Structures are given as C-alpha cells and as structure tokens.
Amino acid sequence: MDDPPPYDEGLEVAHTNSIKKHANDKERANVWNIRAQVGLSRSQHVAQVVCQITEHVRARAMQGLSRTILAMLPSDQDATRTGTLVGFPDNEAPVVIQFEGQQYSIQFWSQAEALAELRTQLYNEVSDGVSRAQLEVALPPRPAAPGQKGSWFGRKGSKAPAIVQTPAPPPPVEVDVQVDDLHFRVETEYGLYETIRVRGMVVSVVVR
C-alpha cells in the first residue's frame, strides 16, 4: 500500500484544483454575460429606432393617415446625402431615415434577430397593448343555406349544408419589415444622372 502524500503536497493539490474550478466558473459566467450583453444591446439599439418610427406614425395619424412607409438606410449606406429615392409611387413616397453610428450598420440589420426585435417592439408600441393572439382569432364558420333539388321519386331531398368559412376581419395593426434594395438617383460631376443601389429596410405600418 502506497503511503499518503505529505500534508503540504495535499494542500497544494487542493489549492490548484480550487483555482482551476474558480477559473472554469468565471469562464462560464463570462460566456453567459456576453450572450446576455448581445441581446440587451440589440434590444436597446432597436428601441431607439422604434422611438423615431413612432414619431412619424403618430404625426401621420394626426393627419388622419393610417399607412406609414419608411425607407431606413443603415449608417454605412449614405446615398441619401447626395441622391433622391426613386421607385415608389408618388402617393406612397416613404419617409427616409438615415442612421448614424456604427451600431446601425448593414451588418447589424442583416441579423434576423434584429429584424424580429424591430417587428416585435414596433408592433407593441403602436398596437395599444393588443396581443397578436387576440387579433388572430378567426370567426367560427357558418353553414350555407341548404339547397333543394328533386329526387327520382318526386320527393325533394335536402342537401347537406356546406360550411362557409367566414373571413376574419383585417387586424387593426399591421407591421412589416423587409430588407430590400433601394435605388437613389444621383448627379455625377459631369452633370449626368445615374441610379445607384443600396441595401436598406422598408418598414410599413398600418393602423386601422
């Protein structure tokens, strides 16, 4: 039978194991903190954008207009500084918002999570607390009027009533966010016009 290790050596091994465990716990905590930081930062960035959008929606609501369309340009897509947005009907010309700051680059808005967060926060802001589940409840189907037709024996047989699905009314709030190509007409140094393409978001809000 082997002799047990000296007391001092046992303390050193225990201390080393404790340090390793503490380092592993700290590393796991840092990983969790980074994950939490990503979600928190994304939510804060989107919340600032929602405030800007809501101001435009509210201003149009005061004019009695229910539909608001916005063309939102990431901070690294600066065509709006020198060009004019084209490709939209005159009666649906969008409000153009040019973002500032590295946190609003196209890389940020290319994230599906950022777009989903924008849809959710914007919907919650303009829907007055009405949940999506409440808006998506369809009316029960109603039976159609029964049809009558003659039989071979001169008796009128009744046909089973058909079920007609009653269409659900349109929701009072609709929010749509899409990443799309936007086109701007710019004037060159030679006085000629050309159309350039940039990536941006088209946001549509309908309040009925």
User: What is the pLDDT at residue 142?
Assistant: 56
Output the pLDDT for position 139: 45
Instruction: Of 93, 48, 68, give the one whose Cα is nearest residue 173.
Output: 68
pTM of the model: 0.65
Q: Would you say residue 53 lies in a domain? A: yes
Interval 78-109: pLDDT, tens: 655 668 888 888 888 899 998 988 889 999 99
Does some domain include residue 9?
no
Range of the domain at 105: 43-131+170-207
In a domain, 177, yes or no: yes
138 within a domain of the structure (yes/no): no
pLDDT tens digit sequence for 162-198: 666 667 777 889 999 999 999 998 888 888 888 888 8
Q: For residue range 50-61, what is the model confidence (pLDDT) as tens digits?
A: 999 999 999 999
Domain contains 118: yes
Whether 24 maps to a domain, the answer reads no
Please give the Cα distance from 152 to 5 (Å, whole number): 105
How far apart, in whole angstroms, are the C-alpha atoms of residue 129 and residue 114?
21
Strands lying side by side in the sheet with 67-73: 84-86, 173-187, 193-207, 67-73, 95-98
Residue 30 CB neighbours (<10 A) = 10
**Predicted local confidence at residue 147, as pLDDT:** 55
**What is the domain count for the chain?**
1
* Residue 102 belongs to some domain of the structure: yes
Cα–Cα distance between 101 and 95 in angstroms, integer?
20
Query: How many secondary structure helices (H) and strands (E) does the chain include?
Result: 4, 9
User: Is 142 contained in some domain?
Assistant: no
